[in-house]
Chain A
Amino acid sequence: MKTLMLGNEAVARGLYEAGCSFVSSYPGTPSTEITEAVAKYPEVYAEWAPNEKVALESAFGASLAGSRAFCGMKHVGLNVAADPLFTMSYTGVNAGLIIGVADDAGMHSSQNEQDSRHYAKAAKIPMLEPSDSAEALELTKLAYELSERFDTPVLLKMCTRVAHSQSLVQPGPRTEARKSYEKNAAKYIMMPGNAKRRHPVVEQRTADLIAWAEDVSINRLEDGPDHSMGIITSSTSYQYVKEVCGDLYPVLKLGMVWPLPEKKIRDLAASVDRLVVVEELDGFIEEHCRNLGLSVTGKEKFSCIDELSQNKVAAGLGKPVPEGVKFSEPIPARPPVMCAGCPHRGLFYTLAKNKVTALGDIGCYTLGAVPPLGALDSTLCMGASVSGLHGFTKAGGGKAVAVIGDSTFIHSGITGLVNMAYNESNATVIIVDNSITGMTGHQQNPTTGFNLKGDPCTKIDLETLCRAVGIRRVRVVDPYDLAQCDQALKEEMAADEPSVIISRRPCALLKYVKHKKPVVIDKEKCVGCKMCMRVGCPAISMSAGKAAIDNTLCTGCGVCGQLCHQGAIRPAKED
């Protein structure tokens, strides 16, 4: 029976059906649910790795051992995993290996808008790209066939609108797939002598894949009666094109976006008056057409900035665009904020109050940058807070701190801390340990004591880890206790050696975290000074000149009460 599945769940289903038995990933929006969903199949071993490089190398090892393997990540994760990626293009695989990478056009939850297709071209690895959930399942299974037939890892590219949209899928049965391992030094040991012999193999493979791309059904021409225009498209852009044009024009729908066919594109170009490429982000297919010497309309009509939509595609094709209802009232923005009861809030208030330069990192706590806290100075990529802090202080930037989450610290903050100890930084790293990978929706990590399947496992002791790399000053604070945070920050920043403060309290959204009753405002005592508003909690606002608590949001954390000089905010009596 057909069922609704997220694109990510459909990839997971495809992995299951194709006999995949090893998955190692690092969470990242919009890719996370692939690995969460596949972990529910008992036949598949699935894990969260500390970072994408470790995950991909683990998946490579599993492929070598003879298991069909998968590694999932978001677009920026592929930057982290790029090192093994480029060389496993040379080694090829034993059992099939798929790398799932999810781009985030529109930056719903990302720090940049990079287009992963460039990696496929640069690493000379084929890339498949589904346009809905049914194709996500189908192309995942096909990717394993390709991987084993052409002896190559295969990139499976998702985007936010395919990954996070549900559409109809017909699930099928699982077929087991297992190979045996045989030593093959010339293929798997990439030292110069061997790699020199492998590079021509890679080039021949790409030529073979181009030939395959010419007559495979996933690169399909959907003909139309009106040949004044022919459109080349893929992924969610294909859906927008069909939404706008229906079956009017010939459409070349590409299921494999690297390597690209040549004859198929030339044939389409020859049969139409005008060739148009509709693709999200960069002009990747467009550039290929130009390299073939074809005249093509592309990015000048369909911007490389932000995601596309049916209206944007309609406008680019010169079609009418529907008009919306006009309503002229100015509507204030509603940016994301740290949740009521978020343990990060007290720590960021302390940083803001002390006017500390703080280099930030990737996670929920990036929201410490927004008003009224405004407590961060930079955010670049995973781990950059710690290594950036080292450079900042060494180069005379003055006293500063890094703020990094527990999962991000393990991902790539620890190597920066090693550098700080080894090269004798004089600065403070604050690990905001909320005992979970928060932003991506509560994934376990090596500091939580639980694995992806929810079973208890080895738990990294952050204090011991920091001491082991050579940091002598390591202390733990409760971010709900502002006085304690303030004292720790002042003392550690005054110390003449590198230090670590672990700001520890579990995420307020975790199911096991019990909330207190909402705090109570004593309207008699409240003088309307707005001191409590400085923590930027969405549960506090001013009403008729007095502080007011939104009881549906307040978790009774009491951080606001510590700022009230009038004693007007008190905890509710617990039952």
Chain B
Amino acid sequence: METKNIMIVGVGGQGSLLASRLLGRLLLTRGYDVKVSEVHGMSQRGGSVVTYVRFGDKVYSPIVDKGEADFIVSFERLEAARYTEDLKKGGKIVTSTQRINPMPVIMGAAQYPDGLIEKMRAAGIDVDAIDALSLAEQAGSAKAVNIVLMGRLSRWFDFSEQEWLTAIEQTVPAKFLELNKTAFNLGREA
């Protein structure tokens, strides 16, 4: 099988690390070769963050480069737009519609573009957008945005719901398991 590439992008602190680890666990159960590349340190502090998940028969590079991503899962719509160049032709963006203003916008030094999702679609990009924050809050915590988006991503993957839920069980703390299962289903069915 040709290597598949997923990028998970967002704002530092939104939980992209956990989402990438969840994917790693899931893909491992099917016997794929898997690589997950994470970001630690200063860039985690409210900056733009990217993690890479790659799987296939044999995976060499741990990173996804320009024009290679089959999926970009984004926790914030500006971040989805930031990484479009990494998307493979025919690739798909799964994004939360959430807006988090970066400091240059807060300061008035830059504009947060209007109608980003519509503009991406107009440019021929396949964008699946959901209000993951509201769904996460509905599930019981704004922090579950990552699992809501994994639920959404699951629609495009050939894994059973049970396989996903098992991977969630292996990734999240037990006391938040039910909340995260709810979040996953809300994202999957939204």
A residues neighboring B (CB under 8 Å): 2-4, 6, 29-30, 32-33, 108-109, 132, 161-162, 164-168, 236, 239-240, 242-243, 309-311, 321-339, 364, 366-367, 370-372, 439-441, 533, 536, 538, 540-542, 550, 552
Contacts and interface: CB of A to CB of B under 8 A. Distances in A.
A324 B85 contact: yes
Contacts of A236: 61-62
**Residue among B61, B100, B108 facing the most chain A CB atoms (10 A cut-off):** B61
B123 A309 contact: no
16 contacts: A4-B36, A32-B40, A236-B61, A310-B63, A324-B86, A325-B125, A329-B81, A332-B78, A333-B48, A334-B11, A334-B48, A337-B103, A364-B45, A441-B40, A541-B106, A550-B100
A327 B81 contact: yes
Given A4-B24, A243-B61, A533 B38 contact: no
Nearest to A131: B60
Given A165-B36, A538-B106, A108 B43 contact: yes
Contacts of B25: 4
Given A242-B60, A331-B78, A371 B103 contact: yes
Contact of A332 (B65, B68, B111, B133): B111
Nearest to B28: A4
Contacts of B82: 331, 334
B34 A333 contact: no
Contacts of A326: 84-85, 123
Contact of B42 (A6, A108, A333, A542): A108
B155 interface: no
A441 B13 CA distance: 12
Interface residues of B, number: 65
Contacts of A441: 40-41, 44
Interface stretch (B87-95, B146-154, B156-164, B173-181): B87-95
A556 to B, nearest CB: 16
A366 B43 CA distance: 12
Given A4-B24, A331-B82, A311 B65 contact: yes
B38 A165 contact: yes
B37 A439 contact: no
Given A336-B47, A339-B45, 5 more contacts: A236-B61, A327-B81, A334-B82, A336-B45, A542-B106
B61 A332 contact: no
B112 A332 contact: yes
Interface string B102-121: 11111111111100100110
B173 to A, nearest CB: 12
**Residue among B11, B13, B46, B87 facing the most chain A CB atoms (10 A cut-off):** B46
Nearest to B33: A168
B123 to A, nearest CB: 5
Given A161-B63, A168-B34, A240-B61, A327 B125 contact: yes
Given A336-B12, A337-B45, A166 B34 contact: yes
The 3 closest A-B pairs by CB, nearest first: A109-B41, A322-B67, A29-B41
A237 to B, nearest CB: 10
A7 B98 CA distance: 33
Contacts of B106: 533, 536, 538, 540-542
Interface in B7-34: 11-13, 21, 24-25, 28, 33-34
